[in-house]
Amino acid sequence: MKLIVGLGNPGAEYEFTPHNAGFLAIDRLALVAGATVSNRRGRALTGKGRLAGEDVLLAKPETFMNLSGLSIAALLKELELQVEDLIVLYDELAIPLGSIRVRERGSAGGHNGAKSVIGVLGTEEWKRIRIGVGKPPLETGREVKAGGKDYLLSPMTKRELATLDVVLDDAVRAVEAVMIKGITAAMSEFNKKVSSD
């Protein structure tokens, strides 16, 4: 079994914000995996399904972004899984909207959810798919101020959502590639691709 976690913030006010790209990716994965992400366990909403011929538990932590590691650690313990069985999806401001990056390990890079996961698990060695929410196009009139908090927590425009919709399909394919082909092949396949609206 694999534990696949999307990072985000619970609550309707955050649903379609850039910071909830991880939650939106889990919603898309649930469609493919035949899962309903509605059971509460390990401080998260979870749903069981099958992806790439393997059982998966999809999860959206209810701890808010900055405490995501607590939920992930609880789920790993409850399921008796190792960090190697974990794939985490989350937004990344440093990656342009319409792109994803697959990584085997790495620092948090300023992302508080990733920082929490690293801090609680005590390692940077976990597979991740970073979903670009990058700087918005100038014509949207939206700007990213220092740290990006205002942008990350405000609703996306229709154009941004349309671009994100395409990249969520890429995120699903990337998860499947990690599971079937391995992390190195998935990085080669997806780290160059840019989706367009």
d(CA 153, CA 178): 29
The DSSP 8-state label assigned to residue 194 in this structure reads B
Query: Does 14 belong to an annotated binding site?
Result: yes
Tokens for 103, please give them.
């990584």
Give how far Cα 112 sits from Cα of 17, 67, 115, Å.
Answer: 16, 8, 5
Residues involved in catalysis:
19
Query: Does 23 belong to an annotated binding site?
Result: no
Residue 11 identity:
G
Measure the CA angle with vertex 165, ends 10 and 133; round to 5°: 65
Binding residues for tRNA: 14, 64, 66, 112
Binding residues: 14, 64, 66, 112
